[in-house]
Amino acid sequence: MKARTIAVALVFCFAGVALCYADDANMGTWKLNEAKSKFSPGAGRNTMVVYEAAGDNIKVTVDGVDSDAKPAHNEWTGKFDGKDYPLTGDPASDMRSYKRVNDHTLALTNKKGDKVTMTGRIVVSADGKTRTVTTSGMDSKGKKVKNTAVYDKQ
């Protein structure tokens, strides 16, 4: 009987977490709309970004191409609380933080060690169909970049 009670409690906990994240405008799969985006010359591009629940955290998986047009992949798992969490797969950064500004806006910061390498703002449209990511900073080669990427929800 105890095992059944525990199992039911766990089901409700996971369902509650899933419902909380379902209301987050950032959650889901986003595909780059190159025609609406503007990149610094030679800048890499994140062509697909996925936000998903990972327990009580959020996992962000990014696929794209680097400045040499080679495949790029990075992953981050953490909370939108403004604290630094490890970032894997990005040669320019090893930590990332997201901070919720409002229901449709996030601020982000990437760091390599203690040095900020990139800052940005992510804004999801009111209808939830597009998101615009504006970033500025340095790429992995130390070159200044300023990009505005527009993504469509899949």
Strand 71-78 to 85-88 pairing: antiparallel
Q: What is the pLDDT of residue 112?
A: 95
Q: What is the pLDDT of residue 23?
A: 74
In tens, the pLDDT along 51-94 reads 999 999 999 999 999 989 999 999 999 999 999 999 999 999 99
**Residue 3 scores a pLDDT above 90:** no
Q: pTM of the full predicted structure?
A: 0.83
Query: Contact 141/67 with Cβ under 8 angstroms?
Result: yes
* Distance in angstroms (rounded) separating the CA atoms of residues 124 and 3: 42
In tens, the pLDDT along 102-125 reads 999 999 999 999 999 999 999 999
